Amino acid sequence: MTDKKLWAGRFNEPTDAFVEAFTASVEFDQRLAPQDIAGSIAHATMLTRQGILTEEEFASIKAGLEQILASIEKGEFEWSVALEDVHMNVEAALTEAIGIAGKKLHTGRSRNDQVATDIRLYMRDEIDLVLAEVSRLQEALLLVAEREAATILPGFTHLQTAQPVTFGHHMMAWFEMLQRDAGRLADCRARMNVMPLGAAALAGTTYPIDRHYTAQLLGFDAPAENSLDAVSDRDFAIEFTAAASILMMHLSRFSEELIIWSSAQFAFVTLSDAFCTGSSIMPQKKNPDVPELVRGKSGRIFGHLMALLTLMKGQPLAYNKDNQEDKEPLFDTVDNLKGCLKVFADMIPAIQCRADNMRNATMKGFATATDLADYLVVKGVAFRDAHEIVGKAVALCIEKECDLSDLSLAELQAFSDIIDEEVFTVLTLEGSVKARDHIGGTAPNQVLAAVKRARQRLNEN
């Protein structure tokens, strides 16, 4: 394959060797080859329909592109840095294979609208894969939530014991976060599904092209309305990376909980050995490396979002070479997001709850104090008075080093004579979670109902 520049006609000197390597993108944009070839076949199909290419030329172009794709997929294609990018490598190989018909493929388009189309096709495919992994992780959470619907877990605010919840209810909180993530990604996909092809370099083309037909062939909802915007827009890349950053923030928070919960100090859960590593010096160690690495990768993806915002903030219309720098952060975001989702979806079903430890921890923080206050309010005590009564009871428990449920009826009645034997039902952990019997509450039957609704939502998606 010749390394001759396809744009060399205007130049009298060869490109400096360092500049050639510095400006090339083929080392990373070659992953766009399937989309580039799909776009080229659709473009050639449209040119043929419009009478710009003959049927014979189209047949030759299509067969040549399919052969090039097969060569790429087998790892036999020879990429050339001198040809700069995936587009020119493919076109040069096509021309070498089929002759002058290959040179006609670029009629009515530019690398500017070509790359913008390729990236949208690529991102559309990748978002579908990401959404599939999000759904798989959600399914894993539903399995655990159903299994642990009644398992008592201390609910925290400020990382202090607040009220009893169930482990299943806690898992459903992560399900809801991922549901919002899926919605953001779907919205992003819908907005990016417009076709830049036909905008050419920036002003459109004088050839009688049919952009609606090409858009239909490539599965786009419509062609982009403005040629200047079509070639220079990277909002979709920023929007995807923003959605990915929020998703990674959720996974990072989840990772933090798994790291804390699996520590010897908490010992709420046991992670499968398959997702942990050991220490080179301390034989007793079992390190939660997977959640730690996911937590760390969140910062990497946040950085890519800032990089893309910074990349675009000073660019005038239309296309600028700066935009070559969009691909590496975008590709790295895609790769790491899919990897983090995959490992989480595999890891979550294997979590083992240490129910006794979670229950004992819940007993240590006066988790049913609010239940006692609510009990008093139902009995007719004003909430602020009930708050004070319970606060005094907690102070006695701290002094005696016991839980509220350990106080005798006489001790409780010393704070309010309205208290009766029924109070001990209220002060149990099971009674506390069972009392939150409404949609969104932590009562076990509500958790199971939430799991059922969530499965219906996933099926609808």
Whose structure tokens read 């009644």?
150
Say which CATH number the domain at 284 has. Answer: 1.20.200.10
Whose tokens are 């050839």? That residue is: 207
Q: Find out whether 357 and 266 touch, Cβ atoms under 8 Å.
A: yes
Q: What is the pTM of this model?
A: 0.91
Is residue 451 located within the same domain as residue 379? yes
Q: DSSP label at 353? A: E
* 13 and 103 together in one domain: yes
Is there a single domain that holds both residue 94 and residue 123?
A: no
Asked whether residue 321 falls in the same domain as residue 381, the answer is no
Q: Does residue 64 belong to any structural domain of this protein?
A: yes
| 279 included as an active-site residue | yes
The CATH number for 60's domain is 1.10.275.10
CATH code of the domain covering residue 424: 1.10.40.30
Total domains in the chain come to: 3
> Considering only CA atoms, which of 97, 123, 95, 91 is closest in space to residue 109?
91
Residue 278 domain-assigned (yes or no): yes
By CB atoms closer than 10 A (0-12, 13-18, 19+), residue 145 is: buried
> Taking Cα atoms as reference points, which of 64, 71, 67, 69 lies closest to residue 44?
64
246 and 232 inside one domain: yes
**Are both 229 and 336 inside the same structural domain?**
yes
Is residue 266 domain-shared with residue 391, that is, in the same domain?
no
- Per DSSP, the residues of 17-51 read HHHHHHH--HHHHGGGHHHHHHHHHHHHHHHHHTT
Q: Which residues pair with 195 in a beta bridge?
A: 223
Output the six-digit token pair for 244: 């990915």
Say if 210 falls within a structural domain: no
Last residue of a domain, one of 293, 325, 359: 359
212 inside domain: no
Which pLDDT score is estimated for 24? 82
Q: What is the pLDDT of residue 278?
A: 84
Short-list 242, 227, 222, CA closest to 319: 227
Do residues 25 and 85 lie in contact, with contact meaning Cβ atoms separated by under 8 Å? yes
Nearest Cα residue to 247 out of 336, 319, 166, 356: 336
The three-class DSSP label of residue 65 is helix
pLDDT of residue 7: 44
Q: What is the mean pLDDT of each run of 10 residues along the chain (461 residues)?
A: 57 65 86 98 98 98 98 97 95 97 97 98 98 98 98 95 96 98 98 98 97 98 98 98 98 97 96 89 88 97 98 96 95 98 97 96 90 93 95 94 91 94 91 94 97 95 80
Alpha helices in 50-203 (DSSP H): 55-73, 86-98, 100-104, 111-147, 167-192
51 and 181 housed in the same domain: no
Distance between terminal CA atoms of the chain? 46
Name the catalytic one among 60, 106, 158, 304. 158
Cα 85 to Cα 69: distance, rounded to the nearest angstrom: 15
Query: Distance between CA 180 and CA 101 in Å, rounded?
Result: 48
Are 244 and 147 within one domain?
A: yes
Strands 160-166 and 152-157 come out as: antiparallel
- 177: which 2 tokens? 């976060």
Residue 282: give the domain boundaries. 112-201+225-359
Instruction: For residue 165, give the 3-state DSSP assignment.
Output: strand
Q: Does residue 282 lie within any of the structural domains? A: yes
Whether 219 is in a domain gets the answer: no
User: DSSP for 168-217?
Assistant: HHHHHHHHHHHHHHHHHHHHHHHHH-EE-TT-TTTT--SS---HHHHHHH
Residues 45 and 133 in one domain: no
Q: Both tokens of residue 323?
A: 């935009």
Question: Of 359, 393, 420, which one is at a domain's C-terminal end?
Answer: 359
Out of 87, 110, 279, 405, the active site residue is 279
> Is 245 considered catalytic here?
no
Residue 92 placed within a domain = yes
405 plus 421 within the same structural domain: yes
Q: Are residues 160 and 269 both part of a single domain? A: yes
Residue 344 neighbours by CB distance under 10 Å: 25
Question: CB-based burial of residue 208 (10 Å sphere; 0-12 exposed, 13-18 middle, 19+ buried)?
Answer: exposed
Q: Is residue 403 part of a domain?
A: yes
Domain stops at, among 74, 107, 140 = 107
